[in-house]
Amino acid sequence: MTRIGIIGGTGYTGGELARILCTHPDVEIAAMTSRQNAGSRVQDVHTYLRGYVDLEFTERISDTKDLDLVFVATPHGVAMKEVPALLEQGIKAIDLSGDYRLHDHEVYQKWYGHEHTDLDNLAKAKYGLPEFFRDDLKGADLVANPGCYATSIILACGPLLKAGVVDEDIVVDAKSGTSGAGMVPTDRTHHSTCGETIIPYSVGKHRHTPEIEMAVDRFAGSSTKVTFVPQLLPIVRGILSSCYFDLTEDLSQEEVDAIYEKQYGNERFVHHVQEPSIRAVVASNHAQTASKVIGSKVVSFGVLDNLVKGASGQAVQCMNLMLGLDEAAGLNIPGLGV
C-alpha cells in the first residue's frame, strides 16, 4: 500500500482528502497534521470519519516516516516551505494552494503579495488538470492542483480555444458556494451576510485570474484576456461558471457540441450535457460542461463541486496518475442528484 500524508488536515480540503482516501483501494493515510489539533484523534475532529480513519493529528509531517506522497492543503505561502524537504527525501507532493500554479515568480508576487522562496521547484511543477495535461502528470514529482474557479472555467473554455473558433477576449460570470472561502469564518461568509443573496467579490483582483489566463493561453497560442467576476452563492458546495465568447466563424449548435464531445467524449469525469446542474455533481469528482450558441456568440458553462473536482478529488485524480494507479481509483462515486 502507498503511504500518504496530509499537511493541513483540519480544513475543508484536508478533511475532504481524508474522506476520499480512506476508502481508496491502493493507499493508506499514514499521517495528518494540524497545529491546533495535534494529539487529537482525527475522528474526534472530523466526526464523519469515525470508523474510517484511526489516526491522531501530528504537528509536523516529519513526525511520520516512510511516506510516498504528501498533499499540502494549507493557505498559500506554506507549501513553498514544506515542499523542498519532501522532494529531497524522494516524497512526491501535491500542493492544493496557489504556491506552484504560476511559473512566473513576478506574476506570483504581484497577485499573492510576497516573494516565492522555491523558484527551482516552481519551474518544475506540473499543472494538475488531467483532462488537458494528463501526460505531464504521469510519474511527476510535484503537481500544482488547480484552483476551483480555474478548473470550472478552463474545462468550459478549453475546447473552444483549442479549436480556434472563438475570440480570445473572454468574459466569465462565476458563482461559488461558501465552502470555497475556507473554514475560518469572515464577515462576508457569515450566514446573516451571505444568506439569501448573491455577493460579487474580488472583481478584477481574484487570484485565480492569472492562473486561468496562463492555462487558456496554452490553448489559444497567444495572449488571452479574461474578465473574471466571481460571486458568492448562499449554498455550501458547487460552482457554476458562465463564459462568454464571440465566435470567429459561423457555427451551428451541433458543430459547437461536437467540439466538446471530441474533447470530453472519452473522459471519465467531465461530461458535456444539455443542462448543467450543480446538484448533479455535488460530492463527486464529476464535472459538467454545456454550450449555447446565440447568434455570433457562444456561452459555455462549467459546473463542479469546488471541494472535489475543484480541489481534493482532482488532487486524488492527479495522485493516481503520479503513482501509476487507475486514474479513477477512489473516485468512482456519482453526484448526489438532489
Give residue 135's pLDDT: 97
Q: Which CATH class is domain 2-124?
A: alpha beta
Instruction: Lowest mean pLDDT of 215-219, 233-237, 244-248, name the range.
Output: 215-219
| Mean of per-residue pLDDT scores for the chain | 94
Is 148 a residue of the active site? yes
Residue 181 has pLDDT above 80, yes or no: no
CATH architecture of the domain 148-306 equals 2-Layer Sandwich (3.30)
Contact 116, 108 (CB under 8 A): yes
pTM of the prediction?
0.95
Segment 237-248 shows an average pLDDT of 97
Please give the single-letter amino acid code of residue 204. G
- The 10s digit of each residue's pLDDT in 264-293 is 999 999 999 999 999 999 999 999 999 999
Domain with CATH 3.40.50.720 in the chain: 2-124
Residue among 17, 307, 77 nearest 181 (CA): 307
C-alpha distances in Å from residue 259, one per residue of 92, 159, 165, 251: 35, 6, 10, 11
DSSP assignment string, 170-229: EEEEEEE-GGGG-SS--TTTSHHHHTTS-EE-STTT-THHHHHHHHHHHHHSS--EEEEE
Could you say which of 148, 157, 194, 243 is catalytic?
148
Is 22:192 a contact under the CB 8 Å cutoff?
no
Question: What does the pLDDT look like over 90-102, one tens digit per residue?
Answer: 999 999 999 999 9
Pick from 211, 264, 180, 250: nearest CA to 98: 211
Residue 107: CB atoms within 10 Å: 16
Beta-carbon contacts of 3 under 8 Å, excluding residues fewer than 6 positions away, are 27, 28, 30, 66, 67, 68
Greater confidence, 197 or 259? 259
* Alpha-carbon torsion, ordered 175, 310, 225, 206, to 10 deg: 60
- % of the chain residues with pLDDT over 70: 100
- Which residues of the chain does CATH 3.30.360.10 include? 148-306
Per-residue pLDDT band for 133 (boundaries 50, 70, 90) equals very high
CB 301 within 8 A of CB 333: no
Comparing 63-67, 139-143, 145-149, 197-201, the range with the smallest average pLDDT is: 63-67
Secondary structure (3-state) at 9? coil
**H-run or E-run covering 143:** strand 142-144
Is residue 55 within 8 Å of residue 310, measured between CB atoms?
A: no
Mean pLDDT of 23-36: 96
Q: Report, as an integer, the average pLDDT of 1-16.
A: 96
What whole-number distance in Å separates Cα of residue 50 and Cα of residue 185?
25
DSSP for 33-61, please give it: B-TTTTTSBHHHHSGGGTTT---B-BS-G
N-term to C-term CA, the chain: 35
Cell of 104: 512566473
